[in-house]
């Protein structure tokens, strides 16, 4: 049996979101007031990192998080991780793939040098994924 993927939730999120992760089989650790130093010291133990607006995901967090497969943001827009992560990902030679219900504006894709693809294809192709979740108390698929 495969061990559960470990999720670190770094900011306050609705309990429903945590329950959905647990129901999906993840081992969830909620640390809504984790300091930057604590995050740097512990991120290597996690497969998934979920933030809102308080936690800043910087280059050293990504570099330290060798196990990270997903960085998720609960909120709206690129916010505190999107644009910087795109810049860092490009520096590492990563391809930028975007998925959402409706394709983003062509100008955004051009600006980010990104490609729009369906979620199933993204999950097949991606090595590290950045997921942004809407601020809702329900799961949207």
**pLDDT, tens only, 73-94:** 776 555 545 666 677 777 777 7
Specify if 138 maps to a domain: no
Closest among 41, 44, 54, 46 to 12, alpha carbons compared: 54
Specify if 139 maps to a domain: no
Q: What is the pLDDT of residues 8-49, one digit of tens each?
A: 999 988 888 888 888 888 899 999 999 999 999 999 999 888
Query: pTM of the prediction?
Result: 0.61
CATH code for the domain of 60: 3.40.50.720
Q: What is the pLDDT of residues 3-19, one digit of tens each?
A: 788 999 999 888 888 88
Q: What is the pLDDT of residues 85-127, one digit of tens each?
A: 677 777 777 777 776 666 777 887 787 777 887 766 766 666 6
Specify if 140 maps to a domain: no
Specify if 68 maps to a domain: yes
Q: What pLDDT shows up at residue 28?
A: 94
- Per the structure, the count of domains in the chain is 1
User: Could you give the percent of the chain with pLDDT greater than 70?
Assistant: 72
Q: For residues 55 and 32, what is the distance between their CA atoms, to the nearest angstrom? A: 9
Specify if 30 maps to a domain: yes
Tokens of 89: 């990902």
Q: What pLDDT shows up at residue 136?
A: 47
Which domain range does residue 49 map to? 6-133
Specify if 103 maps to a domain: yes
Specify if 120 maps to a domain: yes
Residues 6 or more apart whose CB falls under 8 angstroms from that of 122 comprise: 97, 99, 129
């Amino acid at each position: 049996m495969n061990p559960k993927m470990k999720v670190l939730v770094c900011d306050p999120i609705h309990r429903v979101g945590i329950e959905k992760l647990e129901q999906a089989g993840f081992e969830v650790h909620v640390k809504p007031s984790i300091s930057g130093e604590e995050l740097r010291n512990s991120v290597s133990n996690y497969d998934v990192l979920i933030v809102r607006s308080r936690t800043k995901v910087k280059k050293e967090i990504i570099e330290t998080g060798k196990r990270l497969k997903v960085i998720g943001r609960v909120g709206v827009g690129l916010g505190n991780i999107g644009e910087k992560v795109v810049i860092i990902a490009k520096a590492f030679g990563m391809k930028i793939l975007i998925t959402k219900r409706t394709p983003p504006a062509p100008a955004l894709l051009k600006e980010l040098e990104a490609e729009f693809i369906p979620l199933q294809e993204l999950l097949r192709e991606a090595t590290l994924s950045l997921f942004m979740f809407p601020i809702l108390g329900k799961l949207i698929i």
